[in-house]
Amino acid sequence: MKRLLCLIALFAFTAACLAAEPAAVLKIGSKRFTESYILAHIMAQSVARAGGSPPEIREGLGNTAIVYEALRSGNIDLYPEYAGTIALEILRQPKPATLAQMNEQLAPLGLGAAIPLGFNDGYALAVRDADAQRLGLQTLSDLAHHPELKPGLSNEFIGRADGWAGLAQRYGFAHKPTGLDHGLAYDALAGGQVDVIDIYTTDAKIAHLGLRVLKDDRNYFPRYDALVLYRLEVPQRFPQAWAALRTLQGRIDENAMIAMNARAELQGVRFDAIARDFLAAAAGTPAAAGGATPAPAPAPGRSFGDKLFGPDLARLTLQHLMLVVLSVGAAVLLGVPLAVAAFPRPRRRGALLAAAGLLQTVPSLALLAALIGLTGAIGALPALLALTLYALLPVMRNTVAGLSEVGEGLRQAGTALGMTPAQRLRHVELPLALPTVVAGVRTAVAIAIGTATIAAFIGAGGYGERIVTGLALNDRELLLAGALPAATLALVCEALFGLLERRMRRRRGVAG
């Protein structure tokens, strides 16, 4: 019971430390693609310019399901969304709806849609221009006659209500798509690994790579007008911030959005800098006309060293360490007593290890999504629960293995000395099993360091933030800037555990 209370207190303390924020701070979320990052920063900077507390940005929260769940649970207050996505994916309507119709259905959920930003970012399919010319591809109906072409589609598009399944039915596609991350699809298409990809019509790389966007001649896709999806309490809780956000209505046209996406994806300009330049132009300071993003001389992209040793390194390292230390600590507090209790009973022991092994087979993103639904939260709490569950198997398995290595003669010697079973466990069996238990903790730490990078998909921070952003921008250097510190942390932990195990062996040698 004491250990269970310690475990509960550990998670409560962690949630308070990592997820606590002032109640009066507006929280703006974003999905995990370039445009959503930029729009979130534009919204946040618009609010900050109006005075008051700067909003908190929780960016890169994965796909629609995750960021929408974050909104419903109150972990964020608003985020940039699209009319077609709200109607067909969130509200599951059979056809597009007007803003008034959407708000009528969103109101019972405590949500609303408002502030159309001024541009449509629709779904479309694109092919290499050379293939389009060779095969005479102009429309999606033309594509239906070429089932030999290989689609590489984003996983969200494959699973969306307004995505591949309905599109294939409308056009009679016989193609079998491969799931890809949206940020990697352009390279896969350019490299000839796939022949068709789904794109957003404001993507900068369409023109950069000279792709042919196929016309939706049967009008399957609705309009995806960008707007703000928000909690209905926001205008009352943050009236000044809401007034600032309303000034963005109709201010961003498609050309402006394409230009901003290009600065991020092709020039490597930071999202906050792009937002700042856009707002400066919109405010009438020297910039491009018409509210479009200004076009200064391209600044040199950040070097790899700048990305690796950027100002966020200390913060990300602390977040990553806390995720690893707290989750593995919780796994030890829970796993060791469970393994010790189950050890004398082979059936119970086998069932326990089998259950822990089954948890290891659950894909990390699927587990995180399930835990978001169970806890009603994003960020530290579901991430810590997931990492703890993954760390249980090596801790429990090695505890059982260490106890199995204790000779029967030593157990009998303890009994002969008048020890009770509990005393024998505490003074004989566990000390002898400790090196094997520590080896299990060592494995659990290595697993947690690697798996913790996935926690950034739900706003839990850590080195995964760089990896998630690098995927969105298809920036290999930023991906490496997130992977290298994680690998370094793993090597440092391996060295520390190696040193600990050597000391334990020396002590056992002296004792012997």
d(CA 152, CA 155) in angstroms, rounded, equals 9
Side-chain-facing half-sphere of 411: CA atoms under 13 Å:
13
Q: Phi/psi at 203 (nearest 5 deg)?
A: -60, 135
* Cα-based angle 382, 385, 386 (whole degrees, multiple of 5): 85
Do residues 386 and 371 make contact, with C-beta atoms less than 8 angstroms apart? yes
The C-alpha atoms of residue 28 and residue 6 are separated, in whole angstroms, by 34
In this prediction, residue 159 carries a pLDDT of 86
Burial of 338 (0-12, 13-18, 19+ CB in 10 A): buried
274 contacts 38 by C-beta, under 8 angstroms? yes
Distance in angstroms (rounded) separating the CA atoms of residues 202 and 507: 65
| Residue 225 backbone dihedrals phi, psi, to 5 degrees | -70, 130
Instruction: Please tell me the predicted confidence (pLDDT) of residue 17.
Output: 53
The answer for residues whose C-beta is within 8 angstroms of residue 506's C-beta and 6 or more apart is: none
Angle at CA of residue 68, ends 65 and 69, nearest 5°: 80
pLDDT in tens, 321-332: 999 999 999 999
What pLDDT sits at residue 465?
Answer: 87
CA distance 33 to 261: 10
End-to-end alpha-carbon separation of the chain, Å? 36
Could you tell me how far CA 96 lies from the centroid of its own chain? Answer: 28
**What's residue 493's pLDDT?**
94
Give the integer Cα–Cα distance in Å for 200 and 84: 13
Whether the Cβ atoms of residue 77 and residue 378 lie closer than 8 Å to each other:
no
pLDDT of the residue at 288: 39
| 78-82 sheet: strands from edge to edge | 56-58, 27-29, 78-82, 226-231, 111-114
DSSP string, 207-264: HHTTEEEPB-TT--S---BEEEEEETTHHHH-HHHHHHHHTTTT---HHHHHHHHHHH
How many CB atoms sit inside 10 A of residue 360's CB?
13
Which domains does the chain carry?
Answer: 24-120+224-301 (3.40.190.10), 123-213 (3.40.190.120), 313-511 (1.10.3720.10)
What residues of the chain score a pLDDT lower than 50? 1, 3-5, 7-8, 12, 15-16, 18-22, 286-300, 512
Among 307, 280, 157, 311, CA closest to 220: 157
Would you call 121 helix, strand, or coil by DSSP? Answer: coil
Residue 223 main-chain phi, psi, to 5 deg: -75, 140
Q: Tell me the two tokens of residue 138.
A: 């102009």
Structure tokens at 20: 């606590």
Q: What is the DSSP letter of 283?
A: T
What is the per-residue DSSP string for 447-511? HHHHHGGGGGGGT--STHHHHHHHHHHT-HHHHHHHHHHHHHHHHHHHHHHHHHHHHHHHHHHHH
What pLDDT, on a 0 to 100 scale, did the predictor assign at position 297? 41
Q: Which residues contact residue 129 at a Cβ distance below 8 angstroms, ignoring those fewer than 6 apart?
A: 210, 211, 212
